[in-house]
């Protein structure tokens, strides 16, 4: 089962801004690129809500289509007791290349 937890729009700087929406959370979200990575294992993005860090993100390549995508890991006590794996992907019916859905797969 998949669910859309919100939407973000990519800016010219490579950052994403939008909204995280669940049954319990309504918050603005920012996914900011990390320009000073000290290791390849270090995240490519930091995720914040209202200035509070709630996760990180990595650039990935889809193994089937070989298309790049951003995968996020969201974890904070206000979100809940588990870590949520979320991918930035094309929203249904969306034709703007800079608008992405926060897609959560419950099986992750």
**Residue 6 tokens, joined:** 């919100």
What does the CA dihedral 100, 10, 36, 77 come to, rounded to 10 degrees? -50
Tell me the average pLDDT across 87-106: 87
pTM: predicted TM-score of the whole model, two decimal places: 0.89
Residue 95 CA to chain centroid, in angstroms?
A: 19
User: In terms of pLDDT, which residue wins out, 22 or 87?
Assistant: 87
Exposure class string for 44-55: b at 16+ Cβ within 10 A, else e: bbbbbbeeeebb
pLDDT in tens, 22-75: 888 889 999 999 999 889 889 999 999 988 999 999 999 999 999 999 999 999
Q: Largest alpha-carbon pair distance within the chain?
A: 38
């Amino acid at each position: 089962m998949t669910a859309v937890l919100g939407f973000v729009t990519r800016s010219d700087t490579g950052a994403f801004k939008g909204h995280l929406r669940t049954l319990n959370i309504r918050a603005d979200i920012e996914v900011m690129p990390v320009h000073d990575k000290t290791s390849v294992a270090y995240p490519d993005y930091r995720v914040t809500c209202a200035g509070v860090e709630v996760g990180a993100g990595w650039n990935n390549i889809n193994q089937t289509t070989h298309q790049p995508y951003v995968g996020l890991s969201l974890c904070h006590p206000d979100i809940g007791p588990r870590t949520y794996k979320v991918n930035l992907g094309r929203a249904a019916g969306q034709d703007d290349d800079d608008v992405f859905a926060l897609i959560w797969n419950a099986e992750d």
